[in-house]
Chain A
Amino acid sequence: DAMVIQNPRYQVTQFGKPVTLSCSQTLNHNVMYWYQQKSSQAPKLLFHYYDKDFNNEADTPDNFQSRRPNTSFCFLDIRSPGLGDAAMYLCATSRRGDRSSYNEQFFGPGTRLTVL
């Protein structure tokens, strides 16, 4: 089945130790998104890739970076995790959707990050 896969499902890191979260997709979608969801809050977009074009949200901290080496894979790098970065990180994909059209986003299962 075509899907969005995130690894690992649970990640524990130490304060200040870089960590990388991984997302892959078999849907061949142009767009990949990273959302951050803190406990009891709504998901919030960090950035997205439209093909190889990286687009950062204005309020995403510099501590968060992303890489997309090919269509299938996208990585979220947190350079120096702080306690406030503990959250669920959700990867999503969609077809190109810059027009006013229905454009469902398909979400992965998420990676729950704990910072000690």
Chain B
Amino acid sequence: AQKITQTQPGMFVQEKEAVTLDCTYDTSDQSYGLFWYKQPSSGEMIFLIYQGSYDEQNATEGRYSLNFQKARKSANLVISASQLGDSAMYFCAMRERIQGAQKLVFGQGTRLTINP
């Protein structure tokens, strides 16, 4: 079974600084996918970025980029030029195949606080 580990329960960053949220994973599959989601205090899960195991380049989406190091089994999220609105819970997740679908296995999350 897949396992996701996020070792930073909380992070505090000054506004406009870059921040890296750590994520390591464990899987025996050769083909897999990694996701990052943002969860504000309101509760909804907002998709940020995806990295496939066969993607040769690191994924980027605006201010978000994924530092994918396959040999180390890490998929860290980098947020450039952080904003106050980035304060939220961040979850790293991996897809796991189930009957007719794929479920997400989540890490424990990192609570990011951006200070003005």
Question: Which A residue sits closest to B46, measured CB to CB?
Answer: A107
Total number of residue pairs linking A and B with CB closer than 8 Å = 79
With a cutoff of 8 Å between Cβ atoms, the chain A residues found around residue B106 in the complex are 42-44
Q: Which segment of B14-22, B69-77, B79-87, B97-105 sits at the interface?
A: B97-105
Question: Which B residue sits closest to A98, measured CB to CB?
Answer: B100
With a cutoff of 8 Å between Cβ atoms, the chain A residues found around residue B95 in the complex are 97, 103
With a cutoff of 8 Å between Cβ atoms, the chain B residues found around residue A109 in the complex are 42-44
With a cutoff of 8 Å between Cβ atoms, the chain B residues found around residue A100 in the complex are 31-33, 97
B47 touches A97 (CB 8 A): no
Report the separation of the CA atoms of residues A73 and B62 in the bound assembly, to the nearest whole angstrom.
Answer: 33
Give the contacting residue for A55; candidates B43, B100, B104; CB below 8 A.
B100
Interface size on B, residues (CB 8 A): 27
Q: B108 at the A/B interface (Cβ < 8 Å)? A: yes
With a cutoff of 8 Å between Cβ atoms, the chain B residues found around residue A55 in the complex are 98-101
Report the separation of the CA atoms of residues A92 and B43 in the bound assembly, to the nearest whole angstrom.
Answer: 13
Question: A65-107: which residues lie under 8 A (CB-CB) from chain B?
Answer: 88, 90, 92, 94, 96-98, 100, 102-107
With a cutoff of 8 Å between Cβ atoms, the chain A residues found around residue B45 in the complex are 43, 90, 92, 107, 110
> With A102-B52, A107-B45, A108-B44 known to touch, is A42 a contact of B102 (CB < 8 Å)?
no
With a cutoff of 8 Å between Cβ atoms, the chain A residues found around residue B46 in the complex are 107
Give the contacting residue for B33; candidates A42, A102, A106; CB below 8 A.
A102
Distance (Å) between the CB of A70 and the closest chain B CB? 18
A42 touches B108 (CB 8 A): yes
> With A102-B52, A107-B45, A109-B44 known to touch, is A94 a contact of B102 (CB < 8 Å)?
yes
